[in-house]
Structure 1
Amino acid sequence: MRRLTAPLVRCALALGLLAAAVACGGPGRSKVTIMVPWSGKEFQAFYAVVEAFERSHPGIEVEPEVTRALNEQLDAAVAADAEPDLAVLPSVGAIAKYQKEGALRKLDVDTGDYVQPFRGLGTTGGNGVTGEGGDVYAVPLKADVKSLVWYDVDATPDPPGSWADLPARHDTWCLGLESGPTSGWPGADWIADLLLARNGPDAYTAWASGDAPWDRGPVHRAWTAWGDLMGDALEGAAKTGFRDAAGKMPACSMGHGTLAAMDFDADRVKRGGYRYVPPPGRTLQVSADFVGKFTGNDGADEFIAYLASTEAQRLWVNQPGFALSADRRVTVADYTDRVQGGIAAMLHTPANTLCFSAADAMDPDVSAAFYRAVLDYANGTAEGPLLKALDKVQTALGPARPKSAPPLCGTP
């Protein structure tokens, strides 16, 4: 893990390097540390927000701690009483875990302007049915819509009209499952989307909460449907980087996932060079990166309040990386990229049902086992033994979410 002070990052960015060895200095400022998992465009977008905060709060210096193994690093830091002031929490399961351990601190932040289910997932207490009220422990920094099938306009003269067309087509899927410590998640997202599209929010929530079997019923059918759809694309996918696979388009025909994760050329996106097919119905799988507080640092309170502000959210979505905001005050008109803005509109359409990523809602150990099983399946292991093993893991760990927890699905 690399700890980068704000002045150091300025030097690094100026040189085009994240690992510069010379700090620019800056005495007399209080420091706020924040652990983040981002690199490349995602970190660039985040750091633009950091710089804007520091300009308006000259007495506070934000020091990012960059790590690809965030869960492992944060667990170690909490166990050693060496927590960062703030940390990005990439899953609801992580929020629940650190709340249960008493590591997360309550936030004095109003999340009432965030759409559901995002505003409820970082709270505890209040109305467990709607996620309203209660104490806030995590704020959604940026959001994504996962349920999109992408294709290159020039290379796909006869695009699919809907997801129902996909099994009968002979497209080559851009499939990569390697993604560092969380390798396997692209397949997990696909399986979740197929289950959600076929069986709806109730079956989806039961599975994500640990109340449905893996080796039979909707989960088994969604798993095999994904395998049948991917076909030969599974070969070698476990060792292919997700972004590398998406970058092969149009050599391969289609990809699945968020706009932010596809790593498309930004100018070509703006020109409409890539288009997407949403899932059937009006139900979408969504995700978010949250931020939580682990210390009593007052400067951290100021920074987290800024991150949750409309000002910061509007700035963030127009940086590289195609981030979306779940803040209803950030409207489609605030997005300079119309494709990105059109996807963001899905988060604000009352007729839609938004369901938070199933793997993100599971106990982190169950998620890790899920991702591992996806990799093994891609490498040729039959789904039967893998799903039975996942049932054993789930049984050993118990339900991931209490009945009183805010719902995973909601309408904006």
Structure 2
Amino acid sequence: MTRPPARLLRALLATCLLVLLPGCATAEPDPLVVLGPWTGKEGEAFEEALRSLDDGTGREYTYEGTRSLRETLLSQMEADDPPDVAILNSIGELTEYARRDRLRPLVGEAADRAYPPWAPALLVDSRARRYWVPLKIDLKSLVWSGKDAPRDDPEWCVGLASQATSGWPGTDWIEDILLHQEGPEFYESWATGRRDWRDPAVRRAWTTWSRLLGDRTPASVQHSLTTSYEGESGTGGPRGLLDSPGFDCTHEHQSAFVRYLYAGDEVRVEPAARYLGGRPEYADAYEVAGDMAAVFSDDPGAQELVERLSGRAGRQRWRAEADPAVRPLFPDTADHPPGPAADPVERRIHELLTEDARTLCFDASDVMPPALRDAFHRAVLEFFRHPSQSRLDTLLGQLETVRLRMDEDYRGDRSFRPPEDICASPGG
């Protein structure tokens, strides 16, 4: 016999109390639980925004922030006690949850805000449905440097370690190179599992990355493999790779979210295209990422919460609560211009998203099924450690084997098709 989930037990207990206690007409509903990736100042700002949303709806919201998001969510689902709403950055994971009927399709205005490329439709039982909505986004195709750093002949900072998914800064490199060398159409078909990993164009992206990084000593390789993008901590906390004494480098390829590590008037941020050996016609294509909200419960309040969080009022509250360095970017960026207190970096990122970008493509590894994504992360670390052609042949062959296994799995499920449209214009 399976154990009833904890939230059901609480509801039954509340019902019993109503019967036993005279004078009680109704029981207050449990707080809606939101599981998300933000901790520290980011988590505090989001929690304050949630708190301010409780303004007459009769519901309270509890936020659980964790850096081990996937592990936490899986353990909660195994206990049959998932959160009401979870915020994830992986389309591949969300696709798997939808396929296993753990997500609820979005309804109302939230479904209308499922902007591409962050929230492609899924085909379930011959019906196109939207299962998540982007709350916060990031621009990835960026290069950071000190204001006085030379623009040519960069020495690249590389920190490949991370708490949850070691290797993703390397996959970001390869994805960005492939996007700018081969264009959005090729990138989209590769990211969604419709291209062989041994394709010469894919191989060229890996070898271009190795060539750009140049020769590295065993000590520098080990240092990169054991240091995260936050670099080495000083008295004030993390200071970024550009400012870490253990790195002798001038440029960093990294997403917009690292602006919290650097003072906005001390760094320069540029489009990555000019550094990647790509084609001029693809210079206005940018890789992006996002944090998407999905509903895991049948409680109507969960749908309402996602609708309110993704609306203009919810975004304004969130933005108002956040410190400038962690102020969120939103998918409809043009409707949320930087305020008068914005620093030059925030203004430049907004300009790139609203004026320079013509095509946005979602982070490829975050589109892939979790098994393929994790294999990609591991392969990047191995190639960085041993960048030989024979090693690359082996790694690409292994990745192709995983891709074929994932493809066979999906082809065997005729009721479901994963997303294929992960590139779109900024306006959707």
- TM normalised by structure 1 equals 0.80
Three-state SS of the structure 1 residue aligned to 2:170 is helix
Q: Report the Cα distance in structure 1 between the residues aligned to 2:315 and 2:91, rounded to whole angstroms.
A: 20
> Which letter maps to 1:177?
L
Task: Tell me what 1:35 maps to.
Answer: 35
Task: Tell me what 2:382 maps to.
Answer: 376
Three-state SS of the structure 1 residue aligned to 2:230 is helix
Q: Report the Cα distance in structure 1 between the residues aligned to 2:368 and 2:33, rounded to whole angstroms.
A: 27
Structure 2 residue 405 is the aligned partner of structure 1 residue 396: yes
Paired residue for 1:264, among 253, 261, 265? 261
Three-state SS of the structure 1 residue aligned to 2:105 is coil
- Structure whose CA Rg is larger: 2
**Superposed displacement of residue 113, structure 1:** 5.2
**Superposed displacement of residue 333, structure 1:** 4.5
Task: Tell me what 1:141 maps to.
Answer: 135
Task: Tell me what 1:331 maps to.
Answer: 336
> Which letter maps to 1:254?
H
Structure 2 residue 236 is the aligned partner of structure 1 residue 239: no
- TM normalised by structure 2 equals 0.77
Identity %: 30
Tell me if the contact between 1:176 and 1:241 (Cα under 8 Å) persists in the aligned partners: yes
Deviations 1:7-62 (A, max 9, x none): xxxxxxxxxxxxxxxxxxxx9563011111222232133223112213x2473222
Three-state SS of the structure 1 residue aligned to 2:261 is coil
**Superposed displacement of residue 378, structure 1:** 2.3
1:335-350 to 2 correspondences below 5 Å: 336-337=341-342, 338-349=344-355
Three-state SS of the structure 2 residue aligned to 1:179 is coil
CA 1:258–1:324 in 2, change beyond 3 Å: closer, same or farther? same
**Superposed displacement of residue 222, structure 1:** 0.5
Three-state SS of the structure 1 residue aligned to 2:33 is strand
1:354-373 to 2 correspondences below 5 Å: 354-373=360-379
Tell me if the contact between 2:113 and 2:310 (Cα under 8 Å) persists in the aligned partners: no
Paired residue for 2:212, among 229, 245, 270? 229
Q: Report the Cα distance in structure 1 between the residues aligned to 2:191 and 2:89, rounded to whole angstroms.
A: 16
CA 1:301–1:42 in 2, change beyond 3 Å: closer, same or farther? same
> Which letter maps to 2:256?
L
Tell me if the contact between 1:145 and 1:287 (Cα under 8 Å) persists in the aligned partners: yes
1:96-115 to 2 correspondences below 5 Å: 96-110=95-109, 111-112=111-112, 115=115
1:1-400 to 2 correspondences below 5 Å: 30-54=30-54, 56-57=55-56, 59-110=58-109, 111-112=111-112, 115-118=115-118, 120-121=119-120, 123-125=121-123, 134-154=128-148, 156=149, 158-160=150-152, 169=153, 171-231=154-214, 232=216, 234-244=221-231, 247-250=240-243, 251-265=248-262, 268-269=263-264, 271=265, 273-280=267-274, 281-317=283-319, 319-320=322-323, 321-327=326-332, 330-334=335-339, 336-337=341-342, 338-349=344-355, 352-380=358-386, 382-398=391-407
> Which letter maps to 1:249?
L
> Which letter maps to 1:257?
Q
Q: Report the Cα distance in structure 2 between the residues aligned to 1:113 and 1:181, rounded to whole angstroms.
A: 29
CA 1:174–1:57 in 2, change beyond 3 Å: closer, same or farther? farther
Q: Report the Cα distance in structure 1 between the residues aligned to 2:173 and 2:348, rounded to whole angstroms.
A: 22
**Superposed displacement of residue 283, structure 1:** 0.2
> Which letter maps to 1:296?
D
Unaligned runs of 5+ in 2: 1-26, 233-238, 275-282
Q: Report the Cα distance in structure 1 between the residues aligned to 2:353 and 2:30, rounded to whole angstroms.
A: 37
**Superposed displacement of residue 188, structure 1:** 0.3
Deviations 1:139-159 (A, max 9, x none): 1010011000110103x1x32
Q: Single out whichever of 388-397 and 209-218 deviates more from structure 2.
A: 209-218
> Which letter maps to 2:292?
F
Three-state SS of the structure 2 residue aligned to 1:218 is helix
Q: Report the Cα distance in structure 2 between the residues aligned to 1:114 and 1:304, rounded to whole angstroms.
A: 11
Tell me if the contact between 1:236 and 1:378 (Cα under 8 Å) persists in the aligned partners: no
Deviations 1:339-360 (A, max 9, x none): 3243134334486100111001
